[in-house]
């Protein structure tokens, strides 16, 4: 309990700092945000009927981002998608794909909720946000970009698995992108783009491995099991290089069938034979459950299992991950949903979804997409009457230490490097639990350390950013 | 040794499930002659149904099992038999395969509809993860149950087939349906029983495998491919050999996992391909099927021989349609339409292969994928050289694949091509850049490759490209017409009709098959290169095995004997999903629609196109009305171009105009026929317009009187009687049975004695599975 | 056991052919031959193995034992199409017309396969069987009798040395049978060896120079029509209680 209070306190500090850094006009009512956090978050968490009077959301405030959405005098600049009273924003997802229905639906759900909330409070400087639903269905990213070029001011809070499919058309038509996520190496380093949570190619967040190395000093034989589906090959290569840089020896590196395996135990047996002590799985949550069940049957576990943040998924939990997970951790820039009562912005996210899109899915990518919208709103407000595409990109990139109102760890949208700030989450029978001991937080709930990032030197097929 | 033991025991547990699945497949095939491609989908539905009862509604496991395996699965089997498969047993191989693939698509869509995929579903093993140690290796009770079920099934089927009356009837039906019928057996009942048992076995396998594979619709459905190899080792006949096959597949996979090195790019995913490689090898080793004679057809197939003049007019119409579409469509919409046309071009590759030659291919999109990859790597900046390389090299690869596969026929060829497609899917397409000696090979890289759009002088915008692709489609259409009209085309049709007769005329059927397979692969590679250009970036998923299924399915639905089938496939594959944007409720409909169409129309060899052609036949024969309709269409298009009509009303007006023209012509023609005058000139104007060939004109009678008036206005002619017989589905006496010549012959001929000539003298087409082997 | 014979030397020889389907002996050590310019008859009850023999000769079926010689050369190992190109043509008892093609196309296709070998043009072949008018009719629309004639025309268009006809007259009325017989004799007159399997025994007796009788897979008797009609064994086994041949 004491730890939690500490966390809240340190968060308030972070929020203060962030606010001080990012608010150009310094108009933030920090006190209101900080004091309000406790009670209101709890009412939202308790599932109370929406419309709690006095919640931050009711004031157009999200986390520590005060008065984000408010009526005002629209600017005079008009561009594609930017009229006197409307801003058209395109949100890309793959939710309509026949192959993987519902993929990244949560980003669209966030977009809808954000727009509804923001418009209710007057929009961005008096302009209403119109969400352009750009469903790339895996294979139609290029076309959606083509449509967006004609009618949208910017792409915000979305992403597509095959996001290189436009072959540069977005940049060619001058369409800015504040993506929820970027997947392919080409898209990660693209121009006219500001990622709220950068996903760089040549640097990788190594915090999880560094922490686990400390906790399990003997575990230096790494096994990687991954699936070559939708191109996570790059992430695999990055993890392999990062782990080797940190001194891990990769003794098992195999792929599992994209169509599913019948004999997961074979992998476990082989890992045992190879003397695997540390393990990372890159793939889909349900397969991880099956693999861990196999570990349980075999009675063998590595000393630790590390997972990427995409496993922070209710599906993983609900399909039984907790019951079979042992020493399973992930590094995340986001706190868990359960930390809503200590992280006001998390409470706000959950309340936002509950009130403005109750059918919508809450998930990590939803938060990341929301971060993009918050970044957009913040940058747009800073531009004020001079809002234009150029100004948007400039102000968004200028947000150093971006936390989306406290929703995630400080990021550097303007600088394409991996974040130094993360926290550790353990998968337990009780669900996803913040592991403070492993995190050793030094900035709020996060651990920020230059050693949390590893520079990569292999060739990933795209130009290395100029130093 | 310890590892070996472990691998063996885990492999056995997998083999047990495979054996259960494969034996159901074999039982259905032997009894009814239908290879159930939907077997995996049935298993998927079984697993989901069990999940719903057991975990969704928290029923006790035994109750849930009894309901799923004792009621739902057999019921599904009976429904499939009665609604889908009955009437298909004597149908040509193409129909049987297409309908069964349609069923696969429909059931998969149904599963996605009933159990939306983005929901978490926990599926625990029976008895949780409790296990028992066997020879020092932990075996879950779930695995023990799987083994027990496999053994019980083996014993049960043995008893059923050899000790029970229904089982004996089923075995009789395997040997000879018509003979079994003569002996008073009831093959329909046997078939129903076989489908019920088959579906139940699929459901058992689905429930057993779901905890490992996960409750994933597609994965559970395609899991069955591993059982194909097992079933094929049993030659689709022998259950004991099928069990041996399952053991082989299961153990091979376990040993490969344990011992096969995975270093290097080539080996990293090789294990995934082992079951399909095994399938391919088994298909090759299987004794060669004898050249078959001609196949009975419930519906008369029409593959018109279009005259050049009419074909050029049709090609011009395609280009005109492209021009109109380009005028209407915005940039991104134009890209959507481009994709439709590109898919249609790929679909054209099926026309000579499936439509003309009757050779089934389930790997057309794989060839297209090869074409797209080649275009990506050799057509930088849209270099036409890339298109050339894509066409030629894909053709060569097609020839290479054809060399071993030409000896396969019917279902074996379908499975062989499916194995090739899966080989690419599971192994080759996933390979990252590698080198073979001095040659650097790059496929989809780390997941996807950029494919540059073909650079054509004067083609700049997406609309221009759309027009260009329409021109390409029109030219490819003319190529297909040319093939149809050539001697080569005649040989293809001859091959489809009767390989035996073709061979005895001196046609080298192997060479013809090789040629058409190569040609078709080259066409698909060509289309794939263009399709890749419309995608911008191609990934292996665009060209997966499962993408080839709708192409064949909808191609046949459209009418694969003509270019129309390809066009229908393109429009349905590329166009239906567009409707979802307009009407979201359509999403679920779209999931089951192609499959349902396959089930409903897959058995009609002529497809929708032929029906439409028939409907518009009268219009084409009436110059005045035709001109009027064309003027009307032009007016509607002009209104659209002048922005008077928006997209929706435009489409409606266009459809209305065409329908009105067609109906009016039909009515006028009907009235003329009643009067029985002026009819003769109809045939004269038949050619030249549209596709131009009215191949159904029942030539032979002097006056082309509509059939329904024959016998009333004048006596029936022989030809009319024959035509009526055919239409009514009566068997025509091709043999000597109805004609009395010479002593003693009649009686003997009607009831064949001795096996030597059973097939040839029995009612034609009823022996065997609709295909009579010459020479039994 | 080759039957000694006189007359022109045979162009087709079947030597000691045995075919077994599982436990059933379909052909048991069958030997026979056909000479150019002659019509050779092959009769026997259903199931005697006539069609099986044709399948062995054309290569659709491989014999367990024995050989097929065409023009003095052993062709037993050759695939059907290569035998066809050496001048072997046949018709089928169970019609094997290409139903998707027109009558004309059926015959043209056969003529096109012939390549350089001499033979009738497609038009001539159709003319000969009297079906020129039906050239544009789809083959599967013809009644059986005419369809059999198309098969004959198609076989002729390949320019055969040896022509195997499997019950070509069934489905034809008396007049048609007569016309057919004329065609047959004309064809034989051109030096083609014709082998005729037919249930119309009278037609066989009237048309053939030599006759082989098959029963239960083996050759019961061989000889001239007169010899066959006088053969006690044939009468017993084949014609049974009806020694009179009726029309």
Q: Residue ranges of chain A with pLDDT lower than 50?
A: 1-53
Cβ contacts of B129 on chain A, cutoff 8 Å: 293, 296-297, 324
Name the strand (E) or helix (H) holding B436: strand B434-436
Q: Which residues contact A156 (CB under 8 A, 6 or more apart)?
A: A89, A90, A91, A111, A177, A178, A372, A373, A376
pLDDT at B297: 57
| Cβ-contact A212, A272 below 8 angstroms | no
Tokens of A85: 């009273």
DSSP code of residue C239: I
**A385, A386, A388, A390: CA torsion to nearest 10:** -150
Mark yes or no for CB contact C93/B739 under 8 Å: no
Mark yes or no for CB contact C81/B506 under 8 Å: yes
The residue of chain A with its CA nearest to that of B221 is: A259
Give Cα separations from C174 to A282, B741, C177, C247 (angstroms). Answer: 81, 9, 5, 9
The closest of B349, B737, B670, B384 to B516, measured between CA atoms, is B349
pLDDT at A42: 37
Tell me if chain B has a CB within 8 Å of the CB of C116. no
Tell me if chain B has a CB within 8 Å of the CB of C215. no
Q: Does B contact A via 3+ CB–CB distances below 8 Å?
A: yes
The residue of chain A with its CA nearest to that of B142 is: A297
- End-to-end Cα separation, chain A, in angstroms: 44
Spatial distance between the Cα atoms of C142 and C76, rounded to a whole number of angstroms: 35
Mark yes or no for CB contact C143/B699 under 8 Å: no
Tell me if chain B has a CB within 8 Å of the CB of C123. no
Tell me if chain C has a CB within 8 Å of the CB of B719. yes
Nearest CA to CA, how far is C4 from chain B (Å)? 28
Question: Could you read off the pLDDT of B443-495 as tens digits, one per residue?
Answer: 888 778 888 889 999 898 889 999 999 999 999 999 999 999 999 999 999 99
Max mean pLDDT range (B173-187, B487-501, B709-723, C228-242): B487-501
Q: Which residues contact B418 (CB under 8 A, 6 or more apart)?
A: B225, B228, B362, B363, B545
β-strands B131-134, A221-226: how paired?
A: unpaired
Q: Which of B129, B257, B430 lies closest to A296 in CB terms?
A: B129
pLDDT at B722: 59
Name the strand (E) or helix (H) holding B539: strand B537-539
Name the strand (E) or helix (H) holding B693: none
pLDDT at B138: 80
The residue of chain B with its CA nearest to that of A163 is: B537
Spatial distance between the Cα atoms of C237 and A465, rounded to a whole number of angstroms: 97
Name the strand (E) or helix (H) holding B226: helix B225-233
Give Cα separations from B230 to B24, B207, B249, C212 (angstroms). Answer: 11, 19, 7, 49
Mean pLDDT of chain B: 80
Spatial distance between the Cα atoms of B68 and B55, rounded to a whole number of angstroms: 13
Residue C31: phi, psi to the nearest 5? -130, 135
The pLDDT of B255-278, averaged and rounded, is 88
The closest of A411, A438, A434 to A343, measured between CA atoms, is A434
pLDDT at B746: 34
The closest of B32, B45, B24, B25 to B192, measured between CA atoms, is B32
Question: Could you read off the pLDDT of B75-102 as tens digits, one per residue?
Answer: 999 999 988 888 787 777 888 889 999 9
The HSE-up count of residue C33 (CA atoms within 13 Å, CB side) is 19
Evaluate if residue B761 carries a pLDDT over 70. no
Confidence band of B178 (pLDDT split at 50, 70, 90) = low
pLDDT at C36: 92
Nearest CA to CA, how far is B7 from chain A (Å)? 7
* B residues 641-660 closer than 8 Å to C (CB): none
- The percent of residues above 90 in pLDDT, for chain B, comes to 38
Mark yes or no for CB contact B129/A320 under 8 Å: no
The closest of B301, B417, B294 to B767, measured between CA atoms, is B294
Burial A121-130 (b: 16+ CB within 10 A, else e): bbbbbebbbb
The residue of chain B with its CA nearest to that of A252 is: B262
The pLDDT of B673-693, averaged and rounded, is 43
Which of the pair, A129 or B439, is modelled with greater confidence?
A129
Mark yes or no for CB contact C109/B494 under 8 Å: yes
pLDDT at B776: 33
pLDDT at B69: 95
Burial of B323 (0-12, 13-18, 19+ CB in 10 A): middle
Q: Which residues contact B649 (CB under 8 A, 6 or more apart)?
A: none
Spatial distance between the Cα atoms of C141 and C197, rounded to a whole number of angstroms: 25
Cβ contacts of B733 on chain C, cutoff 8 Å: 144, 171
Q: Which of A260, A262, A317 lies closest to B17 in CB terms?
A: A262
Question: Which of B67-71, B149-153, B443-447 is the least confident region?
Answer: B443-447
Tell me if chain B has a CB within 8 Å of the CB of C81. yes
DSSP B252-318: HHHHHHHHS---HHHHHTHHHHHHHHHHHHHHHHSPPPPPEEEEP-SS--------HHHHHHHHHHH
The residue of chain A with its CA nearest to that of B5 is: A269
- The percent of residues above 70 in pLDDT, for chain B, comes to 81
Nearest CA to CA, how far is A259 from chain B (Å)? 5
Mark yes or no for CB contact B577/A137 under 8 Å: yes
Q: Does B contact C via 3+ CB–CB distances below 8 Å?
A: yes
Size of the B and C interface in Cβ pairs below 8 Å? 218
Cβ contacts of C105 on chain B, cutoff 8 Å: 305, 490
The residue of chain A with its CA nearest to that of B381 is: A167
Report the residue of A294, A297, A323 to disrupt the B interface, i.e. the one with the largest count of B CBs within 10 Å: A297
The residue of chain B with its CA nearest to that of C86 is: B506
Alpha helices in A141-284 (DSSP H): 141-151, 169-172, 185-188, 207-215, 233-245, 264-274
Report the residue of C110, C138, C152, C170 to disrupt the B interface, i.e. the one with the largest count of B CBs within 10 Å: C170
Neighbours of B214 (CB within 10 A): 22
Name the strand (E) or helix (H) holding A81: none
Question: Could you read off the pLDDT of C141-198 as tens digits, one per residue?
Answer: 888 888 888 999 999 999 899 999 998 888 778 888 888 899 899 999 999 999 999 8
The HSE-up count of residue A29 (CA atoms within 13 Å, CB side) is 13
Report the residue of C17, C54, C81 to disrupt the B interface, i.e. the one with the largest count of B CBs within 10 Å: C81
Neighbours of B567 (CB within 10 A): 25
Question: Could you read off the pLDDT of B95-129 as tens digits, one per residue?
Answer: 888 999 999 999 999 998 899 887 778 888 888 77
The closest of B560, B555, B573 to B606, measured between CA atoms, is B560
Mark yes or no for CB contact A257/B138 under 8 Å: no
Residue linked to tokens 């010549």: B741
Q: Which of B124, B214, B577 lies closest to A286 in CB terms?
A: B214
- C partners (3+ CB pairs within 8 A) are B
pLDDT at B315: 93
CA B739 to chain centre: 40
Cβ contacts of B745 on chain C, cutoff 8 Å: 199-201
Name the strand (E) or helix (H) holding C5: none
| Cβ-contact B365, B544 below 8 angstroms | yes
Spatial distance between the Cα atoms of C207 and A441, rounded to a whole number of angstroms: 108
The closest of C98, A36, C199 to B503, measured between CA atoms, is C98
Spatial distance between the Cα atoms of A239 and B308, rounded to a whole number of angstroms: 61
Mark yes or no for CB contact C80/B744 under 8 Å: no
Tell me if chain C has a CB within 8 Å of the CB of B611. no
Residue A154: phi, psi to the nearest 5? -160, 160
- A partners (3+ CB pairs within 8 A) are B
Q: Which of A139, A267, A298 lies closest to B542 in CB terms?
A: A139
Q: Which of C80, C93, C216 lies closest to B503 in CB terms?
A: C80
Tell me if chain C has a CB within 8 Å of the CB of B722. yes
DSSP C40-109: EEEE--TTSSHHHHHHHHHTSS--SEEEEEETTEE-TTS-HHHHHHTTEEE--SS----TTSBHHHHHHH
pLDDT by residue for chain C (247 residues), tens only, comes to 444 455 678 899 999 999 988 778 889 999 999 999 999 999 888 778 888 899 999 998 889 999 999 988 999 989 999 999 999 999 998 888 998 899 999 999 999 887 667 778 888 999 988 889 999 999 888 888 888 889 999 999 998 999 999 988 887 788 888 888 998 999 999 999 999 998 888 888 889 999 999 888 888 888 888 888 888 777 776 655 444 444 3
Q: Which of B117, B330, B336 lies closest to A102 in CB terms?
A: B117
The HSE-up count of residue A248 (CA atoms within 13 Å, CB side) is 30
Tokens of C55: 């399948």
Spatial distance between the Cα atoms of A12 and A344, rounded to a whole number of angstroms: 9
Size of the A and B interface in Cβ pairs below 8 Å? 184
Q: Which of B504, B700, B754 lies closest to C58 in CB terms?
A: B504
The residue of chain A with its CA nearest to that of B542 is: A139
Mark yes or no for CB contact C93/B487 under 8 Å: no
Question: Could you read off the pLDDT of B348-398 as tens digits, one per residue?
Answer: 999 999 999 999 999 999 999 999 999 999 999 899 999 999 999 999 999
Spatial distance between the Cα atoms of C37 and C15, rounded to a whole number of angstroms: 21
Question: Could you read off the pLDDT of A203-246 as tens digits, one per residue?
Answer: 999 999 999 999 999 999 999 999 887 667 889 999 999 999 99
| Cβ-contact B531, B387 below 8 angstroms | no
3-state secondary structure of A279: strand
Nearest CA to CA, how far is B554 from chain A (Å)? 17
The closest of A181, A185, A193 to A366, measured between CA atoms, is A181
Tokens of A118: 């923001």
Spatial distance between the Cα atoms of A51 and B563, rounded to a whole number of angstroms: 60
Tell me if chain C has a CB within 8 Å of the CB of B756. yes
Residue A426: phi, psi to the nearest 5? -105, 140
Neighbours of C33 (CB within 10 A): 21
| Cβ-contact B559, B610 below 8 angstroms | yes
Max mean pLDDT range (A48-57, B143-152, B303-312): B143-152
Tell me if chain C has a CB within 8 Å of the CB of B747. no
Tell me if chain B has a CB within 8 Å of the CB of C65. no
Tell me if chain C has a CB within 8 Å of the CB of B442. no
- B partners (3+ CB pairs within 8 A) are A, C
Q: Which residues contact A135 (CB under 8 A, 6 or more apart)?
A: A92, A93, A94, A95, A96, A108, A144, B581
Neighbours of B488 (CB within 10 A): 17
């Amino acid at each position: 309990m004491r730890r939690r209070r500490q966390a809240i306190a340190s968060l308030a500090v972070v929020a203060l700092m962030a606010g001080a850094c990012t608010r150009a006009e310094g108009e933030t009512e920090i006190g209101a945000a900080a004091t309000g956090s406790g009670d209101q978050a709890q009412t939202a968490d308790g599932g109370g009927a929406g419309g709690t009077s006095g919640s931050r959301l009711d004031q157009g405030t999200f986390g520590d981002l005060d008065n984000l959405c408010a009526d005002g005098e629209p600017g005079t600049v008009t561009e594609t998608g930017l009229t006197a009273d409307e801003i058209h924003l395109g949100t890309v997802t793959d939710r309509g794909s026949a192959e993987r229905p519902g993929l990244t639906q949560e980003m669209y759900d966030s977009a809808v909720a954000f727009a509804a909330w923001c418009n209710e409070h007057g929009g961005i400087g008096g302009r209403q946000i119109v969400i352009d639903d750009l469903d790339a269905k895996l294979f139609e990213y290029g076309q959606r970009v083509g449509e967006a070029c004609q009618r949208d001011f910017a792409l915000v809070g979305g992403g597509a698995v095959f996001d290189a499919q436009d072959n540069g058309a977005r940049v060619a038509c001058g369409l800015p992108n504040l993506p929820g996520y970027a997947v392919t190496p080409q898209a990660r380093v693209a121009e006219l783009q500001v990622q709220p949570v950068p996903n760089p190619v040549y640097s990788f967040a190594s915090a999880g491995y560094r922490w686990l190395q400390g906790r399990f000093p003997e575990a230096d034989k790494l096994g990687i099991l991954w699936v070559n589906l939708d191109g996570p090959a790059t992430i695999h290569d990055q993890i392999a290089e990062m782990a080797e840089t940190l001194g891990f020896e990769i003794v098992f590196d195999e792929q599992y069938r994209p169509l599913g395996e019948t004999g997961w135990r074979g992998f476990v047996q082989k890992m045992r034979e190879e003397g695997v002590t540390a393990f990372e799985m890159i793939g889909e949550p349900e397969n991880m459950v099956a693999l861990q069940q196999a570990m349980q049957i075999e009675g063998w576990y590595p000393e630790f299992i590390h997972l990427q943040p995409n496993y922070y998924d209710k599906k993983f939990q609900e399909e039984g991950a907790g019951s079979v997970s042992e020493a399973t951790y992930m590094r995340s820039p986001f706190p868990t949903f359960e930390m809503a009562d200590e992280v006001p912005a998390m409470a706000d996210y959950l309340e936002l979804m509950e009130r403005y899109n109750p059918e919508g899915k809450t998930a990590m990518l939803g938060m990341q997409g929301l971060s993009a919208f918050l970044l957009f709103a913040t940058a747009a407000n800073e531009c004020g009457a001079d809002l234009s595409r150029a100004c948007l990109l400039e102000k968004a990139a200028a947000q150093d230490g971006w936390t989306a109102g406290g929703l995630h760890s400080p990021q550097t949208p303007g600088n394409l490097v991996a974040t130094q700030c993360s926290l550790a989450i353990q998968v337990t029978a009780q669900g996803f639990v913040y592991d403070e001991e492993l995190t050793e937080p030094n900035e709020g709930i996060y651990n920020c350390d230059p050693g949390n990032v590893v520079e990569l030197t292999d060739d990933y097929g795209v130009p290395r950013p100029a130093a | 040794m310890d590892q070996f033991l472990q691998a063996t025991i885990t492999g056995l547990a997998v083999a047990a499930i495979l054996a259960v699945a494969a034996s159901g497949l074999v039982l259905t095939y032997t009894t009814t002659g239908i290879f159930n491609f939907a077997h995996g989908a049935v298993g998927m539905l079984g697993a989901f149904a069990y999940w719903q009862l057991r975990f969704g509604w928290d029923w006790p496991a035994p109750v849930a099992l009894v309901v799923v395996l004792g009621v739902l699965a057999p019921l599904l089997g009976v429904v499939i038999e009665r609604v889908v498969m009955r009437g298909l047993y004597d149908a040509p191989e193409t129909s049987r395969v297409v309908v069964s693939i349609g069923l696969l698509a429909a059931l998969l869509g149904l599963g996605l509809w009933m159990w939306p995929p983005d929901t978490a579903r926990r599926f625990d093993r029976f008895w949780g993860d409790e296990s028992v140690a066997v020879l020092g290796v932990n075996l879950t009770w779930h695995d023990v149950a799987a083994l027990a079920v496999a053994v019980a099934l083996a014993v049960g089927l043995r008893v059923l087939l050899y000790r029970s009356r229904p089982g004996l009837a089923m075995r009789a039906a395997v040997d000879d349906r018509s003979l079994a019928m003569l002996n008073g057996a009831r093959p329909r009942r046997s078939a129903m029983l076989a489908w019920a048992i088959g579906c139940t076995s699929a459901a058992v396998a689905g429930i057993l495998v779901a905890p490992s594979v996960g409750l994933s619709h597609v994965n559970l459905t395609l899991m069955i491919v591993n059982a194909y190899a097992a079933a094929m080792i049993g030659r689709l006949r022998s259950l004991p050999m099928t069990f041996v096959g399952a053991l082989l597949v299961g153990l091979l996979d376990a040993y490969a996992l344990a011992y096969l090195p995975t270093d290097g790019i080539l080996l990293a995913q090789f294990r995934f391909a082992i079951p399909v490689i095994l399938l391919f090898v088994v298909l090759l080793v299987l004794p060669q099927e004898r050249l078959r004679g001609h196949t009975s057809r419930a519906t008369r197939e029409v593959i018109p021989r279009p005259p050049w003049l009419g074909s050029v007019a049709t090609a011009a119409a395609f280009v005109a349609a492209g021009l109109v579409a380009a005028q209407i469509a915005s940039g991104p919409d134009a890209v959507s339409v481009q994709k439709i046309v590109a898919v249609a071009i790929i679909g054209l590759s099926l026309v000579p292969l499936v439509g003309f030659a009757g050779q089934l291919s389930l790997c057309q999109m794989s060839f297209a994928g090869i074409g797209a990859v080649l275009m990506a790597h050799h057509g930088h900046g849209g270099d036409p050289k890339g298109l050339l390389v894509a066409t030629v090299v894909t053709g060569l690869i097609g020839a290479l694949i054809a060399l071993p596969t030409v000896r396969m026929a019917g279902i074996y060829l379908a499975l062989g091509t499916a194995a090739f497609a899966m080989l690419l899917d599971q192994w080759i397409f996933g390979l990252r850049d590698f080198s073979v000696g001095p040659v650097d090979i790059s496929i989809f890289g780390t997941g996807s490759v950029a494919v540059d759009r073909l650079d054509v002088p004067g083609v700049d915008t997406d609309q221009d490209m759309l027009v260009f692709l329409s021109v390409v489609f029109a030219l490819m259409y003319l190529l297909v017409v040319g093939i149809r009209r050539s001697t080569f085309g005649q040989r293809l049709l001859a091959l489809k009709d009767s390989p035996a007769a073709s061979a005895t005329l001196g046609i080298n059927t192997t060479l013809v098959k090789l040629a058409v397979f190569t040609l078709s692969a080259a066409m698909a590679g060509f289309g794939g290169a263009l399709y890749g250009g419309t995608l911008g970036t191609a990934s292996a998923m665009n060209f997966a095995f499962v993408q080839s299924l709708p192409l064949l399915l909808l191609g046949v639905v459209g009418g694969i004997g003509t270019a129309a089938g390809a066009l229908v496939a393109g429009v349905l594959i590329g166009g239906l999903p567009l409707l979802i944007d307009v009407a979201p409720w359509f999403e679920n409909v779209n999931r089951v629609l192609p499959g349902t169409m396959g089930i409903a129309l897959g058995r009609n060899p002529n497809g929708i196109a032929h029906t439409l052609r028939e409907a518009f036949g009268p219009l084409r024969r009436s110059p005045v009305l035709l001109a009027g309709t064309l003027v009307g269409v032009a007016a509607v298009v002009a209104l659209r171009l002048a922005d008077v009509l928006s997209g929706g009303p435009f489409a409606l007006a266009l459809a209305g105009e065409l329908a009105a023209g067609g109906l009016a012509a039909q009515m006028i023609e009907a009235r003329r026929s009643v009067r029985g005058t002026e009819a003769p000139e109809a045939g004269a104007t038949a050619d030249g317009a549209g596709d131009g060939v009215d191949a159904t004109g029942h030539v032979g009678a002097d006056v082309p009187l509509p059939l329904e008036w024959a016998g009333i206005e004048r006596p029936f002619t022989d030809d009319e009687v024959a035509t009526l017989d055919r239409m009514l589905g009566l068997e025509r006496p091709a043999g000597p049975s109805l004609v009395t010549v010479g002593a003693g012959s009649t009686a003997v001929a009607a009831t064949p004695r001795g096996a030597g000539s059973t097939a040839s003298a029995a009612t034609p087409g009823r022996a065997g599975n609709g295909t009579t082997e010459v020479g039994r | 056991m080759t039957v000694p014979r006189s007359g022109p030397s045979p162009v087709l020889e079947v030597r000691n052919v045995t075919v077994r389907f599982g436990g059933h002996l379909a052909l048991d050590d069958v030997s026979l031959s056909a000479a150019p310019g002659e019509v050779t008859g092959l009769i026997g009850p259903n199931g005697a193995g006539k069609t099986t023999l044709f399948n062995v000769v054309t290569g659709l079926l491989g014999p367990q034992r024995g050989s097929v010689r065409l023009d003095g050369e052993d062709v037993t190992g050759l695939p059907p199409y290569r035998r066809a190109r050496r001048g072997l043509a046949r018709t089928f008892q169970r019609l094997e017309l290409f139903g998707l093609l027109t009558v004309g196309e059926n015959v043209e296709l056969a003529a096109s396969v012939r390549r350089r070998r001499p033979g009738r043009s497609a038009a001539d072949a159709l003319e000969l069987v009297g079906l020129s008018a039906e050239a544009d009719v789809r083959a599967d629309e013809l009644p059986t009798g005419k369809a059999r004639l198309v098969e004959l025309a198609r076989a002729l268009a390949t320019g055969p040395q040896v022509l195997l006809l499997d019950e070509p007259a069934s489905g034809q009325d008396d007049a048609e049978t007569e016309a057919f017989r004329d065609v047959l004799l004309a064809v034989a007159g051109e030096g083609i060896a014709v082998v005729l399997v037919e249930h119309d025994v009278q037609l066989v007796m009237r048309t053939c120079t030599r006759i082989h009788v098959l029963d239960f897979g083996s050759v019961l008797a061989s000889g001239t029509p007169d010899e066959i009609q006088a053969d006690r064994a044939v009468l017993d086994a084949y014609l049974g209680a009806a020694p009179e041949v009726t029309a």
